[in-house]
Amino acid sequence: MIYSRIVGTGSYLPPRVMTNADFAARLDTTDAWIRERTGIVQRHIAEKSQTSSDLAFEASRHALAAAGVGAEDMDLIVVATSTPDYVFPSTACLLQSKLGVKGSAAFDVQAVCSGFVYGLATADNFIRAGAAKKALVVGAEVFSRILDWNDRGTCVLFGDGAGAVVLAAGSKPGVHASILRADGSHSGMLSVPGNVCGGAVAGSPFLQMNGQAVFKFAVRVLEESARETVAAADMQLSDIDWLIPHQANVRILDATARKLGLPSEKLVVTVDHHGNTSAASVPLALDEYVRAGKIRAGHRLLLQGVGGGFTWGSNLVTL
Ligand code: ACO
């Protein structure tokens, strides 16, 4: 039996930090409102010159170094992003070129904030099927580009960044189970409903959402997905050392852990200093905890995504 295993993690945050006070200086909002409703204190914002593939490149370099392998060893590059550099080519192809290699398969996955979980499941299946031996899976976003900076209800929530993992084939799991779900009937609940047409933007280029509906939906499906994935791996929730949900809002994270009966010590929280970085949030959080020595080899992790589409899903992983 072939399994896939995470053999290295990496991440990158652009240096510029934006605090809640920076928003309060230009919008009708306060640090207290943002902290209380979201748990967010600060987020990183990319420079104008930085694209998702630039952030992905930095995160990938760190992940490859941690894994002790070269980009030339990758058979597959998957980039999860909703803020690609271009309509095409894919951000994964641009990343491949920045890494100075060619020949591997490279494509993007578009599942918004569930993108990394979808990408990891995809790469895991390539490896299990024998179609790849090593894969680079990246979540990279510059959500600052699709925010209406005058809309206090959305612009305070997000940040930019990238996270990456190297997956390698092995005889032991690794990735035990992944379950991916979607319900396109909720496409209007969270969207950027625009496109490029005839040289102009048709529709809206800005993120819009129904915050309260998103909140309720996210808590419900994160709980369902956790239970379903743990059962698919023939395990119990008590076997999980770390719950790493998509970092949208500290209240969503707390409510999910509470519903699952998991103590707060097992909940990974980085949304306070990253904001919501969409597809980058799970690998960014994973890498931060790995580098801090909190998440270690042998630990069981439940990675979870939920986002526009609506999409959601989980990967149960032994590091
Ligand atoms: N500062 C001050 N007031 C604000 C702000 C702000 N930044 N944003 C909204 N308000 C106001 C609203 O205008 C409203 O005012 P009104 O009562 O005068 O009309 C009031 O606060 C309450 O607004 P609500 O939207 O009802 O506030 P709520 O308690 O629901 O909090 C929030 C809003 C934080 C967005 C919450 O609904 C939420 O966290 N939802 C989840 C959404 C989320 O995490 N999205 C991320 C993307 S989705 C994903 O990643 C899965």
pLDDT in tens, 7-36: 999 999 999 999 999 999 999 999 999 999
Q: Which is it for strands 17-19 and 42-44: parallel, antiparallel or unpaired?
A: antiparallel
Q: Grade residue 38 by pLDDT with cuts at 50, 70 and 90.
A: very high
Which run of H or E residues covers position 78? strand 76-80
CA of 33 to the centre of ligand 1 (A): 9
Active-site residue, selected from the candidate residues 20, 249, 276, 315: 276
Which of 28, 208, 215, 251 most suits a substitution to test ligand 1, by most atoms within 8 Å of the C-beta?
215
Q: What confidence tens digit (pLDDT) does each residue in 80-110 have?
A: 999 999 999 999 999 999 999 999 999 999 9
CA separation, residue 179 to residues 28, 70, 196 (Å): 41, 30, 33
Which run of H or E residues covers position 251? helix 250-260
Q: Grade residue 151 by pLDDT with cuts at 50, 70 and 90.
A: very high
- Residues 16, 48: contact at Cβ < 8 Å? no
Residues of the chain above pLDDT 70, percent: 100
Dist CA 188 CA 210 (whole Å): 8
User: Residue 13 contacts by C-beta under 8 Å, 6 or more apart in sequence?
Assistant: 44, 160, 161, 274, 284
Please state whether the peptide bond connecting residue 310 to the residue before it is cis, i.e. omega within 30 degrees of 0: yes
CA separation, residue 157 to residues 23, 99, 118, 151, 295 (Å): 11, 31, 22, 11, 26
Q: Is 113 a catalytic residue?
A: yes
- Domains of the chain, start order: 3-172 (3.40.47.10), 176-318 (3.40.47.10)
Q: What confidence tens digit (pLDDT) does each residue in 219-273 have?
A: 999 999 999 999 999 999 999 999 999 999 999 999 999 999 999 999 999 999 9
Q: What confidence tens digit (pLDDT) does each residue in 167-209 have?
A: 999 999 999 999 999 999 999 999 999 999 999 999 999 999 9
Name every protein residue with a CB atom under 6 angstroms from any ligand 1 atom: 29, 33-34, 37-38, 113, 152-153, 156-157, 190, 209, 211-212, 214-215, 218, 246, 248-249, 276, 306-307
Task: Determine the longest span between alpha carbons in the chain, in angstroms.
Answer: 57
CA of 36 to the centre of ligand 1 (A): 11
DSSP secondary structure code for residue 232 in this structure:
H
